[in-house]
Chains A and B, each alone.
Chain A
């Protein structure tokens, strides 16, 4: 089976490569291969720039330019941490300067107390950054949105207070003078060597960010930003993920502060004033907060201003205010976003856009099916239907009630789901079907009753924990993250049950690559079951409604849930799509999962469901086989609106 999948995968990838006319508008015959080569290795551009900047001290630049490079490198790290928290994880952090100041004071204190080693200092400041990140993030991120922004804004206010409370460490309002040079393995580092080390540290940090945000782990950020509900239902804890982003983003800020202490051998509270705090936010907005290299653009631009004009100082707040306001109003994604869009426009005009897009599609080898499926990997759907496998009472819903205000959405609902069977939940609008699904997947807590899946009580478990227990679902309105390929949108379903941690994602270990290949292989299997495999590398959010529904079904199926909740999967599907879905559901009979299908289309229900349960105004009015249920007078009355 896997061999045939392979061939078709190759065909798909090759089919997407346009074999358009090469010389039609006078392009060089070498253009296409070069464009494809560079598109596949886009990291060559920042890498080349990095190498050039490393040699900056020997390029005969003016002291002002060198200063811009040094401060630019320092603030690149700070701004990049902001971008990780804000642009990627979606929580605006305004007080990154506090952590930066902390790192600087650690640098000053260490150096004036005989500890000059670079690695010790970086490790200590990183640890301090993590600590502050936890102290502020743990309470601050409890409530999403405004709360964290304001809590972090508060930090700006605390810098002068803490500086004056601890004069022995911070030197009070005068600061710390005469900070010794750092040492690396006992060698003093100053002048050009310091610049190179600074640039290398900033460059390494950017590499870490790049590897993180382009990994499967990083795609989790896109999910929680676009839809916290989806993230939770896929086993991603929004709170924990945001906290991790903030804590990780604190590390470069603290390290940047440490390096700053050694820039002028002087640290004082005047380095950490409101204007500086604001310049970091402005840099993030202007550079582009959802971009890896936007931090460089923003940080460097904001350093050039003060150094070029001497009157900048008195107008700094006004200028930052305008930059933040106009930047947020006019641009989406700052200069980096602008550059990306105009880059694509240019490539389209030159005729290379399709080549580049095609070249960026991972080669089929990247989602090769592993020779032997590792333990825990899905064996999905493949088993032959075997009615003897059916276990009754696999899922028990007992006496579940839920009211919103005075409105009883569910009233003492009891039903059981059979493993290896499809149970349809039907009822008029407002009868409580989706409420029951939301209780099963943990978005609502019931007022009474309990739910037991395969002997495990669900009470008190979060949505993300329930996903890991094996409860997968789809949504009435398909939740598909924009700017994500269909393949990756489906593979999201595999990640949280076979996760790759931050460290392994950043280091791109062979294990993490294998996990990615595994997830993509499962995704490809699930997609082929639903007949959407040929869409694998197109943008998921741009797909028609029917395909987006099937993407959701594939995503929920990918890791063989124990209970699969489908919320009106057939509505909006074309005849062919509905047939594919029906065939899939038929194959799920006898599998290891219990399927609960919420559906309005009675014909569809009759054809695929083994059992049916009818809700009316929050109460179960009939249960049994679809045929039995449809003959029930109470059901007929409910559906035709007759008064009983």
Chain B
């Protein structure tokens, strides 16, 4: 049971990262590679806020979210908008550039060693249903479900959300119907950044603040999306937990070195058999 809790909490992190990618993918139709790096930046902002400048703990998530919002906005303006519509993986390459840049800058500022970030709640390991886990682990299990629900409700209940769904279906038609797709693009990138920053504070409890977290999360989030299907909130949550469980179980029964290899094999099999995702019902049209 302890392994399952560990798997679910790690999976929660992956699901959070995947939901961030989904958010931008649905509203703007792009895969913003740097999305996972914003979570990484969020962990450092949690460190800065809580440890360096001793911010009131309530303000730390807001601070991290604000930084994420700004980063997401800048990233969209600098790296995504100028190359929108250009072929040859232009957006993927420019956002990869941003990701590498963030990686480099953060490791330059904070060093390569992981920095511990204290959690507000107790660090007391508790036993729940026969498995042992820290309170932050349980937060990580619940958080993606909350986020997915919020995104789902937002997308189906609000006008902006519906516009995002419409533009995922057909950007050109959405624009003809008066949807401001340019605004939607930067807004979703900034919202994705804010979400990543906010979650970075929680993630940091488990992963610590470390600069290469983003690259790892980018891979795992992609794996989750390949499983769950791009654009599907439910798929991202289930996929995230599944990937976390596979990782935790293979680490326990084999060795940590094998877990990524097994996940990679898993990914290849999924792509071979169900290239559009295992849990996906309808596919977001690639325009």
Q: Residues of A with Cβ closer than 8 Å to B?
A: 86, 90, 92, 94, 135-136, 138-140, 142-143, 145-147, 149-151, 153-158, 161-162, 164-165, 225, 274, 278, 281, 285, 314-329
B216 touching A157, Cβ below 8 Å: yes
For A139, the chain B residues whose CB sits under 8 A away are 267-269, 271-272
A321-B102, A324-B96 given; 4 more Cβ-contact pairs under 8 Å: A140-B271, A150-B219, A157-B260, A317-B101
Selected contact of B83 from candidates A146, A314, A315, A328, CB within 8 Å: A328
For A138, the chain B residues whose CB sits under 8 A away are 272
For A145, the chain B residues whose CB sits under 8 A away are 89, 286
Given the contacts A92-B93, A321-B98, A158 and B104 also touching, CB distance less than 8 Å: no
A328 touching B103, Cβ below 8 Å: no
B107 touching A151, Cβ below 8 Å: no
B257 touching A149, Cβ below 8 Å: no
B96 touching A281, Cβ below 8 Å: yes
B249, CB-defined interface residue at 8 Å: no
For B31, the chain A residues whose CB sits under 8 A away are 146
* Binary flags per residue of B63-104, CB closer than 8 Å to A gives 1, else 0: 000000000000000110011000111101110111111111
For B258, the chain A residues whose CB sits under 8 A away are 161, 165
A-facing residues in B167-214 (Cβ within 8 Å): 212
- Give complex CA distance A318, B108 in Å: 8
- Give complex CA distance A422, B261 in Å: 58
B218, CB-defined interface residue at 8 Å: yes
Given the contacts A321-B102, A328-B97, A153 and B219 also touching, CB distance less than 8 Å: yes
B261 touching A161, Cβ below 8 Å: yes
B222, CB-defined interface residue at 8 Å: yes
A-facing residues in B248-280 (Cβ within 8 Å): 255, 257-258, 260-261, 264, 267-269, 271-272, 275-276
CB distance from A134 to the nearest CB of B (A): 11
- Give complex CA distance A135, B272 in Å: 11
Selected contact of B108 from candidates A90, A155, A165, A315, CB within 8 Å: A315
A150 touching B261, Cβ below 8 Å: no
CB distance from B228 to the nearest CB of A (A): 14
For B219, the chain A residues whose CB sits under 8 A away are 150, 153-154, 157
- Give complex CA distance A325, B92 in Å: 10
B267 touching A328, Cβ below 8 Å: no
- Could you name 30 residue pairs across A and B whose Cβ atoms are closer than 8 Å? A92-B89, A92-B92, A139-B269, A140-B268, A142-B275, A143-B271, A143-B275, A145-B89, A147-B271, A153-B218, A155-B264, A157-B216, A161-B261, A164-B257, A165-B255, A165-B261, A225-B88, A315-B108, A317-B104, A319-B104, A321-B97, A321-B100, A321-B104, A324-B93, A324-B97, A325-B78, A326-B97, A328-B93, A329-B79, A329-B83
- Give complex CA distance A314, B111 in Å: 10
A161 touching B105, Cβ below 8 Å: no
For A278, the chain B residues whose CB sits under 8 A away are 100
- Give complex CA distance A501, B219 in Å: 36
For B79, the chain A residues whose CB sits under 8 A away are 325, 329
A-facing residues in B101-126 (Cβ within 8 Å): 101-105, 107-108
The 10 closest A-B pairs by CB, nearest first: A321-B101, A325-B97, A317-B104, A318-B104, A321-B100, A324-B97, A139-B271, A150-B222, A139-B272, A139-B268
CB distance from B173 to the nearest CB of A (A): 15
For A281, the chain B residues whose CB sits under 8 A away are 93, 96
For A154, the chain B residues whose CB sits under 8 A away are 219, 222-223, 260, 264, 267
B238, CB-defined interface residue at 8 Å: no
Given the contacts A140-B271, A143-B276, A321-B104, A161 and B97 also touching, CB distance less than 8 Å: no
Selected contact of B215 from candidates A155, A161, A274, A324, CB within 8 Å: A274
- Give complex CA distance A311, B212 in Å: 20
Q: Residues of B with Cβ closer than 8 Å to A?
A: 31, 78-79, 82-83, 87-90, 92-94, 96-105, 107-108, 212, 215-216, 218-219, 222-223, 226, 255, 257-258, 260-261, 264, 267-269, 271-272, 275-276, 286
CB distance from A331 to the nearest CB of B (A): 12
Central interface residue in A94, A140, A281, A329, by most chain B CB within 10 Å: A329
CB distance from B269 to the nearest CB of A (A): 7
B267 touching A317, Cβ below 8 Å: no
Selected contact of A322 from candidates B82, B99, B101, CB within 8 Å: B101
CB distance from B200 to the nearest CB of A (A): 19
CB distance from A168 to the nearest CB of B (A): 14
- Give complex CA distance A135, B265 in Å: 10
For A143, the chain B residues whose CB sits under 8 A away are 271, 275-276
For A316, the chain B residues whose CB sits under 8 A away are 104
CB distance from A430 to the nearest CB of B (A): 16
Q: Which chain A residue has the least Cβ–Cβ distance from B103?
A: A317
CB distance from B73 to the nearest CB of A (A): 16
For B97, the chain A residues whose CB sits under 8 A away are 321-328
Given the contacts A319-B104, A320-B104, A328 and B94 also touching, CB distance less than 8 Å: yes
- Give complex CA distance A144, B93 in Å: 16
For A142, the chain B residues whose CB sits under 8 A away are 271-272, 275
For B286, the chain A residues whose CB sits under 8 A away are 145
- Give complex CA distance A318, B261 in Å: 29
For B108, the chain A residues whose CB sits under 8 A away are 314-315, 318
- Give complex CA distance A326, B97 in Å: 8
Given the contacts A318-B108, A329-B82, A161 and B88 also touching, CB distance less than 8 Å: no
For A92, the chain B residues whose CB sits under 8 A away are 89, 92-93
Central interface residue in B89, B105, B218, by most chain A CB within 10 Å: B89
CB distance from A162 to the nearest CB of B (A): 7
- Give complex CA distance A142, B268 in Å: 10
- Give complex CA distance A225, B86 in Å: 13
Central interface residue in B97, B271, B286, by most chain A CB within 10 Å: B97
A321 touching B103, Cβ below 8 Å: yes
- Give complex CA distance A154, B226 in Å: 13
- Give complex CA distance A318, B106 in Å: 9
- Give complex CA distance A208, B119 in Å: 58
Selected contact of A315 from candidates B104, B215, B275, CB within 8 Å: B104
CB distance from B94 to the nearest CB of A (A): 5
Selected contact of A151 from candidates B103, B104, B267, CB within 8 Å: B267
CB distance from B234 to the nearest CB of A (A): 20
For B107, the chain A residues whose CB sits under 8 A away are 317
Selected contact of B93 from candidates A162, A285, A320, CB within 8 Å: A285
A165 touching B268, Cβ below 8 Å: no
CB distance from A135 to the nearest CB of B (A): 7
- Give complex CA distance A318, B94 in Å: 14
CB distance from B189 to the nearest CB of A (A): 15
Q: Which chain A residue has the least Cβ–Cβ distance from B31?
A: A146
For A323, the chain B residues whose CB sits under 8 A away are 97
- Give complex CA distance A155, B100 in Å: 17
For B275, the chain A residues whose CB sits under 8 A away are 142-143, 147
- Give complex CA distance A315, B269 in Å: 38
Q: Which chain A residue has the least Cβ–Cβ distance from B211?
A: A317
B94 touching A329, Cβ below 8 Å: yes
CB distance from B276 to the nearest CB of A (A): 7
- Give complex CA distance A142, B274 in Å: 10
For A328, the chain B residues whose CB sits under 8 A away are 83, 90, 93-94, 97
CB distance from B220 to the nearest CB of A (A): 9
B96 touching A158, Cβ below 8 Å: no
- Give complex CA distance A28, B141 in Å: 78
For A164, the chain B residues whose CB sits under 8 A away are 257
Q: Which chain A residue has the least Cβ–Cβ distance from B96?
A: A324
CB distance from B270 to the nearest CB of A (A): 8
For A157, the chain B residues whose CB sits under 8 A away are 215-216, 219, 260
B226 touching A147, Cβ below 8 Å: yes
For B87, the chain A residues whose CB sits under 8 A away are 90, 225
- Give complex CA distance A150, B90 in Å: 15
For A321, the chain B residues whose CB sits under 8 A away are 97-104
B103 touching A161, Cβ below 8 Å: no
Q: Which chain A residue has the least Cβ–Cβ distance from B112?
A: A314
For B78, the chain A residues whose CB sits under 8 A away are 325, 329
CB distance from A163 to the nearest CB of B (A): 9
Selected contact of B100 from candidates A86, A146, A317, CB within 8 Å: A317
